[in-house]
Structure 1
Amino acid sequence: MISFQLTEEQEVVREAMHDFAEQAIRPAARDADEESKLPEALLAQIHELGLIATQLPAEHGGGGEERSPVTMAILLEELAWGDAALAAAALAPAAFAFAIADAGTEDQRRELLPLFCGESFHAAALALVEPGALFDPAKLATRAEARDDGFVLSGAKSLVPLGDRASHFLVVAASGDGRDAFVVPRDAAGLTISEPEKNLGLKALPTTTLRFQALELPAAARLGGSTGCDVQRLVDGARVALATTMTGVSRAALEFCVPYAKDRRAFDQAIAQKQGIAFPMAEMHIETDCQRWLAWQAASQLERGLDSTRAAHLARAYSAEKSMWIADQGVQTLGGHGFIREHPVEMWYRNARTLSVLEGMLAL
């Protein structure tokens, strides 16, 4: 039997994260966007919630709680409803930390996981996306060539979150006939980190370009050691997170537009009663739910250890297209008000556009 009913624990998580997003994230979103700067106090608050540390092994300083991709999807949607850029900043280290916890060697876990279990927010990031509209995570230009007792890394990664402060990067590269992930410290010789990029949306989230010029890595830097890791699972997890974030943006736009359309009057009638407004808003609701179900399906397959590549790709691609459309409809619903900063819809539109191209241009 198929059910979309949340468990009692998931409902508690959803309500708690929604309250936090409403009270802490959303009030900080506009200033963070205008200043293109992360609020450090908010990052400290998010760290205190233990969203990452509680799900890391107890022997490495974590809480030892069981991790659920479905629950993480529910949690991330609520944070992204508050603001996509701040949600992405808060959970960007999770992509690194959880990969180490799941696929790292014992030495890698012992060295790296305690960093995320301390008293303050610690930044690290997954470096997957490469420059260029034709980026394909299955055909990476960044390469790791085996040399002697290690690897030589060459290439570039773009749109790396928290690149201005991350202590380590998990770099996905072509290696031999397949793909591997490598732990690259910030101070590695041969690594050049750009200044934060100036993007259309997600302006509060500092992203950078990493360039690797014959960067030498020891064999121990390979995630999983000599056996390597399942890189496709890392890609699938990133796609689910991206789809869930876009779902949060879509829901934010929808929930802002509905009461606005009911209150806004034109020709002695609420604009919500006009078919040109009401029908698109109904479609916005349908598409937001569709995004969520696709993301949950992919997250459920990840949780059960199944092949989630198809589901994760469909969730990301569908959300990329529909979140842009929903955000655009949000601007249209508000009319001229949709273009001014007095209302957050224009910011959500910019965020949706930026999120949609984080894995290359959708049309290509």
Structure 2
Amino acid sequence: MSKDIQGLGLGLASRFAGSELAKKYGLRKPAERIAYLWTKKGFQFVGKLQADKAKKKAADPLLLAAPAAHGLFDLTLTDEQQMIKDTVRSYAEEVVRGLAHDANEAMTLPENYLEDIQALGLNFFSVPEVLGGAAQSYSPTTSAIIAEELAWGDMSLAFATLAPVGVANAIVRWGTPKQKDTYLPNYLGEKPVKAAIAVQEPNALFAPKMLATKAKKTKRGFEISGVKTLLPFGGEADLYLVAARYKKQPRLFFVRGDSEGVSWKAAPAMGLRATATGTLKLDSVHVDSDAMLGDDTFNYQSFIDLGQLHWCALAIGACQAALDYLIPYVNEREAFGEPISHRQSVAFMVANIGIEMESMRLMTWRAAALAEMGKPFHREAYLAHVLCADKAMEIGTNAVQLLGGHGFTKEHPAERWYRDLRVLACVNSGLHL
């Protein structure tokens, strides 16, 4: 009952925050704050009720005592994580999924998509409370859950949604106080931020540590030259976080989209077509002395690992969407007088998709949990990415196969999943948990 009351109050506050009345009288931000505080206090209330209930159960002599906690890895979501997961899934089902096909065909984001998706508040949860946001702690695991649920709606639109969030996450984790004060307040405005991480280069056998893009020190700051590819937003990004080699080490630099020497060329890819991908060229672009992200504590390998885990989370969401689509299809599709799921070859293939997907999720969440606790996670992130890159392509291929001739047509979304999932083995850029 308490959860119902909390959900009703949160829904009313959120609905009012998005209304024309709130906009007309300047009440949107106060209403959003009320919704956030309602959620926070509501979970405290629910938590107390659950604790009291558990205490009463423990007093029952007929019940066995709960096992002692040993601090082992636990996949159980917190109440807040479950609420976020349910909210994002609902938005993905009601809004994102319906836009996916047309956005893919048009090779551009739906009109007002970034403005509309701000209703989820992902921008607020990217910024710490001390700067006016809603983030209370660093949580790559929660970010991975959000990525999964958005990608369940559509992987391409999820990438467009989370690319700016990835830049904010990198600033929060690595940025200097001045850089946080400069860039993070932009995420609290009504206008959506278009920002992206630029690591990938159009070179054969590209490795993120072997960068052809170079930066050199100048009297006013830095000069950057190079080419980046597979970037979203069709050249309309406000800000790029560009990876470049500086003094033989890879570092990241803030480059504004309208800087002199920055040019864009459209380059539609096999997948992620709704994000309007293209190539960014930097021809002796000058940035100021504060443009280098972070200080000597910056860890480029951890930065790359967190980006790869974000791609893993997107792939898991798309694979879950495929599985949820395939199960009813193979049970309803008949051949030779019976559902095709009665054939062992079909049933085993669907079962394997579920098995592999759960292993992808387990390894990704484990690596993210280690990063969240501040422990070494490079090995786990590497293994998660290798597994996800391999199995994502396999699941995409099998989704097309299980639909037979339908899988080769645009009438069903399997061909889009197939194309989007293949990017996992090709990209080292764009996201950051």
TM-score for both structures, normalised by structure 2: 0.79
> Within 2, Cα distance between the matches of 1:57 and 1:171?
23
What one-letter code is carried by the residue in structure 1 that aligns with 2:129? A
Question: Moved runs in structure 1, 4+ residues, more than 4 A?
Answer: none
**Pick aligned residue for 1:93 from 151, 164, 169:** 164
Aligned to 1:199: 269
Separation in structure 2 between the aligned mates of residue 352 and residue 258 of structure 1, nearest angstrom? 19
Equivalent of residue 40 in structure 1, options 85, 91, 111: 111
Letter in 1 for 2:360: Q
User: What 5-or-longer segments of structure 2 have no aligned partner?
Assistant: 1-71
Q: Distance in 1 between matches of 2:273 and 2:283?
A: 28
Q: Which of the residues 312, 324, 331 maps onto 1:243? A: 312
* Segment drifting more, 165-174 vs 48-57: 48-57
Match of 2:176 in 1: 105
- Cα distance in 1 for partners of 2:425, 2:347 equals 26
Amino acid aligned to 2:391: K
What is the CA deviation profile of residues 243-292 of structure 1, one whole-angstrom value per residue up to 9, with x for unaligned ones?
Answer: 11111111111111111000011111110010111111111111101111
* Offset at residue 173 of structure 1 (A): 1.3
Q: Of 271, 276, 279, which aligns to 2:340? A: 271
- Following the alignment from structure 1 to structure 2, what is the Cα–Cα distance between the partners of residues 264 and 358? 36
Residues 14-52 of structure 1 show CA distances to partners (whole Å, capped at 9, x for unaligned) of: 111111111111011111111112113332221121112
Alignment partners' CA distance in 1, 2:297 and 2:242? 13
The alpha-carbon distance between structure 1 residues 189 and 42, as it changes in their structure 2 partners (threshold 3 A), is closer
The whole-number CA distance in structure 2 between the counterparts of 1:313 and 1:146 is 33
Matched residue, 1:155: 226
- CA contact 1:55–1:67 (8 Å) conserved in 2: no
d(CA) in 1 for partners of 2:123 and 2:204? 32
Deviation at 1:122, TM superposition (A): 1.2
Residue in structure 1 matched with residue 393 of structure 2 by the alignment? 324
The residue aligned with 1:208 is 278
**Is contact 2:323-2:353 (8 Å) kept?**
yes
Superposition CA RMSD, Å: 1.7
Counterpart of 1:219 in structure 2 is 289
**Conserved in 1, the CA contact under 8 Å of 2:268 and 2:278?**
no
Aligned to 2:284, the other structure's residue is in SS state strand
Partner of 2:10: none
Separation (CA, whole Å) in 2 of partners of 1:297 and 1:262: 33
1:172-213 Cα deviation digits (max 9, x unpaired)? 111113221100111222222223x21111110122211122
Gaps of 5+ in 1: none
Question: Is the 2:88–2:120 Cα contact (8 Å) retained in structure 1?
Answer: no
Letter in 2 for 1:174: R
Aligned residues: 358
* Cα separation, 1, equivalents of 2:263 and 2:227: 9
Residue identity matched to 2:114: L
- Greater CA drift, 119-128 or 38-47: 38-47
**1:261 corresponds to 2:330:** yes
TM superposition score normalised by structure 1: 0.94
Q: CA offset at residue 83 of structure 1?
A: 0.2
Counterpart residue identity of residue 75, structure 2: F
Deviation at 1:228, TM superposition (A): 6.4
Among all aligned residue pairs of Structure 1 and Structure 2, give the percentage whose two residues are the same amino acid.
Answer: 38
SS of 2:112's equivalent in the other structure is helix
Q: Distance in 2 between matches of 1:252 and 1:103?
A: 33
Q: Is 1:119 paired with 2:190?
A: yes
CA distance in 1, matches of 2:102, 2:406: 19
